[in-house]
Amino acid sequence: MRLKNVKGSREAIAAHPGVIHDPEAHKGSWKDVFGNNNPVRLEIGCGKGRFLTDLSRENRDINYVGVEKYSSVLIRALEKLDEEDVNIFFMRMDAENICDCFAEDEVDRLYLNFSDPWPKDRHAKRRLESRQFLARYDRILKKDGLIEFKTDNRLLFDFAVEEVAESPFEIAEITYDLHHDEKMMQGNVMTEYEEKFSSMGNPIFKYILRRKS
């Protein structure tokens, strides 16, 4: 993704109450951050935050955390929050370090939406659907937790499907045309990228993973 530097975004993020600044300090105690025992769901690479913000407003009894690497993007997510958004936080970090922030079984569900493709083979392990990332998710996800991934990038999706075989997960559901799949579309919340690429006529691919039975 090409990034425009947003002046002042670092400072604005540093002062924003919707940001967790020391995520490692909350490993194993996210229930204290939210003040309840509700399930915690993560979006990795949340970008400008539309998906997670909308989802959190539809499900006030679920807690959400958005993870984004860049301040210039995260600032757009924070601009969407208001004072009623008490079941959602964001953190600016590289998801490579996600296991430093959540304990075993602490995450109920993981969302990956329109992840960066990293087209060069030598960068495959940076893809958020790689076996290396799936191994990280395995460490923090509940035993019956799910991973949901959607994209319009066929090469990335094919890679993601192949990587599942090298992981502790299996495909529970899959579609190669989400927007025409009545069952998998139920409750679908659009992301910024999904809106853009589906309006161009691109099919959207989606899988849901569960642990191997």
Region at 200 (left for phi over 0; alpha for psi -120 to 50; beta for the rest): alpha
Q: Of the two residues 54 and 181, which places its CB atom closer to ligand SAM in the complex?
A: 54
What's the closest the beta carbon of residue 198 comes to ligand SAM, in angstroms? 11
Q: Of the two residues 70 and 168, which places its CB atom closer to ligand SAM in the complex?
A: 70
Tell how strand 169-175 and strand 205-211 pair up.
antiparallel
In the structure encoding, which two tokens stand for residue 132, read together?
């290396």
Question: Which residues are CB-contacts of 110 (< 8 A; sequence separation ≥ 6)?
Answer: 41, 42, 43, 44, 137, 141, 145, 146, 147, 148
- The single residue of 85, 108, 116, 138 carrying the catalytic annotation is 116
Q: C-alpha 140: how far from its chain's center?
A: 14
Q: Of the two residues 26 and 48, which places its CB atom closer to ligand SAM in the complex?
A: 48
What's the closest the beta carbon of residue 1 comes to ligand SAM, in angstroms? 5
Question: Is 54 in the active site?
Answer: no
Binding residues for ligand SAM, rule: CB under 6 A, are 1, 45-47, 67-70, 73, 94-96, 113-116, 191-194
What's the closest the beta carbon of residue 37 comes to ligand SAM, in angstroms? 27
Q: What is the enclosing helix (H) or strand (E) of 199?
A: helix 192-199
Hey, which residues are catalytic here?
A: 116
